[in-house]
Amino acid sequence: MSVATRRAWFSFPDPVNEVSARLVAGGVVLLSLATIVFDQPWVTAVIAYGFVVRMLSGPTLSPLGQFVTRVITPRLGVVPKLVPGPPKRFAQGMGAVMSATAALLALGLNRRGAAYVVLGPLVVAATLESVFAYCLGCRIFGLLMRAGVIPVEVCDRCNNIWGGAPS
């Protein structure tokens, strides 16, 4: 695989279509709730895989991301709402940590109950994104920018939109 191909596969989109991001979040809500309600701990690995590859490459390697961006979003006929990519990537990273923790608890340590407790906040965050267009990870990203933990150069567009950092 050439360097250019790897770079294309492992690059996060900037900007991101918020319509697609919200639909993917809805898929995460459904997968997470199904995992808990039907007591299917193996699905935690599927959820974790999705977050990790979306963090690394956006929708490129994510079956849910591909389905949303290639099938659902185009059929909706809505105008794309473009938002900065770095906060969305940070949010995917938060989801990756939470879902990987749930998968480790459920599959590696046989602690299903603890895994499902970890999925709870993930369901809340994904529901906020999907239903209300409120990206909790993006808000935390903004707070970290304001605190100087994340350099403002990471997201120049965020600086222009929110006057220093995302709100």
Distance, in Å, from the CA atom of 99 to the CA atom of 118, rounded to the nearest integer, reads: 8
Residues 6+ apart with CB under 8 A from 68: 20, 23, 24, 27, 59
Q: Report whether pLDDT(23) > 70.
A: yes
12, 59 contact by CB (below 8 A) = no
pTM: 0.90
Q: Tell me the per-residue pLDDT of 68-127, one tens digit each, with 9 for 90 and over.
A: 999 999 999 999 999 999 999 999 999 999 999 999 999 999 999 999 999 999 999 999
141, 90 contact by CB (below 8 A) = yes
Residues 129-146 as b or e (16 or more Cβ within 10 Å = b)? bbeeeebbbbebbbebbe
Domain locations in the chain as residue ranges: 3-133
Predicted confidence at residue 166, as pLDDT, reads 46
Q: Identify the band that residue 134 occupies on the pLDDT scale cut at 50, 70 and 90.
A: very high
